[in-house]
Amino acid sequence: MYEFIEGEFVEKSPAHLIVQAGPLAYFIHISVFTYSQVSNQHNGRIYLHFVVREDAQLLYGFSGREEREIFKSLISVSGIGANTARLILSSLSPEEVTQAILAGNVAVLQGIKGIGAKSAQRIIVDLKDKVGKGAGIDELFFSKDNTSRDEALSALVALGFPKKNVEKILTRILSKEPELSVEEVVKAALKLM
């Protein structure tokens, strides 16, 4: 529902951030990792995840998209709520969480307060195939020097095609016809996939 908020960081702590955007100020729950990223800033952008519960409506904030995606993945696991996911991201960086899941390292996850062996195993089993698949897509989509080739590559990777295969096909297409538009490149690549 909410993508991000930009504004002045009125109050900061390792557990929350108050961001003033216009005449309104928002209380946002954050991880220690996000706090470490914004602790020296007076204003900036925080990526959001909105949680509606029976008794509350809460905003969780993240310094980057990667951390937010890991948070969303974690809360999709049965028995892992928003506060537990925030605790995990306060104990480990997003990269460390991803590496622990991909390596099946139960001990690393179990070392976090409140995460037992069963919860750690459930996180690994549920997320091993999901985590890491989107790695690098943000850089492709949001690159400032995005060429037609890069745009076509990011579109095809987002559709689920392997990046290495797509790169080979795009090289072949663009070596023959370098002036194609993004749409034409994507259509030509889809025919060759």
For β-strands 57-62 and 24-30, DSSP reports them as parallel
Identify any residues that bridge with 26 across adjacent strands, giving them in sequence order.
Answer: 19
Strand 16-21 to 4-12 pairing: antiparallel
pLDDT tens digits for range 1-52: 789 999 999 999 999 999 999 999 999 999 999 999 999 999 999 999 999 9
β-bridge partners, 51: 58
CATH tag, 4-62: 2.40.50.140
Q: Are 97 and 91 in contact (CB under 8 A)?
A: no
* pLDDT tens readout for residues 138-182: 444 443 334 678 888 877 777 778 888 888 888 888 888 888 888
Q: pLDDT per residue over 72-120, tens digit each?
A: 999 999 999 999 999 999 999 999 999 999 999 999 999 898 899 999 9
Residues of the chain within CATH 1.10.8.10 domain(s) are 137-192
Architecture of domain 65-127: Orthogonal Bundle (1.10)
